[in-house]
């Protein structure tokens, strides 16, 4: 059931990102937190879904012929970082937006169950 929730959140975040831009990530995650306020880990599920959605964008872009593999090392070299850093930043950014938004969405409704 958790895997299905992650995939569903990823699809909604991907659609929201296409339609509204990056700021759709915390909006969708907060809405998920409100809807799934009785689940145990709304922040973790939203973060995993957001990272999966943006990772899917990277995969689709790479398969579509975008120079993802050649651009990342160039970008990383200009910032004096390892070549994998832009990939990780692309996955961490939506996850770090989604996790607290989903937690706050669940918390606003007063039904968040802390991990035991």
Number of domains in the chain: 1
pTM: 0.88
Q: How many CB atoms lie within 10 A of CB 70?
A: 9
For residues 10 and 98, give the distance between their C-alpha atoms in angstroms, rounded to a whole number.
11
Answer whether residue 50 shows pLDDT above 80: yes
**Per-residue confidence band for 90, with pLDDT thresholds at 50, 70 and 90:** very high
Asked, for residue 113, whether it belongs to a domain, the answer is no
For residues 104 and 20, give the distance between their C-alpha atoms in angstroms, rounded to a whole number.
21
Question: What is the domain range of residue 86?
Answer: 2-108
Answer whether residue 88 shows pLDDT above 90: yes
Please give the average per-residue pLDDT across 106-113, as a whole number.
72
Specify the pLDDT at position 112: 55
What's the distance, CA 36 to chain centroid? 17
Asked, for residue 44, whether it belongs to a domain, the answer is yes
Answer whether residue 68 shows pLDDT above 90: no
Asked, for residue 115, whether it belongs to a domain, the answer is no
Asked, for residue 96, whether it belongs to a domain, the answer is yes
> Which runs of consecutive H residues, i.e. helices, occur in 1-116?
2-20, 24-35, 42-63, 68-78, 85-108
Answer whether residue 43 shows pLDDT above 90: yes
- Between 46 and 69, residue with greater pLDDT: 46
């Amino acid at each position: 059931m958790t895997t299905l929730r992650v995939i569903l959140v990823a699809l909604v975040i991907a659609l929201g990102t296409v339609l509204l831009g990056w700021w759709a990530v915390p909006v969708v995650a907060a809405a998920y937190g409100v809807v799934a306020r009785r689940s145990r880990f709304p922040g973790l599920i939203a973060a995993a879904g957001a990272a999966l959605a943006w990772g899917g964008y990277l995969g689709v872009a790479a398969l579509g012929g975008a120079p993802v593999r050649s651009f990342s090392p160039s970008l990383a070299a200009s910032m004096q970082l390892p070549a994998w850093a832009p990939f990780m930043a692309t996955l961490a950014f939506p996850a770090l937006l989604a996790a607290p938004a989903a937690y706050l969405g669940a918390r606003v409704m007063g039904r968040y169950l802390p991990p035991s």
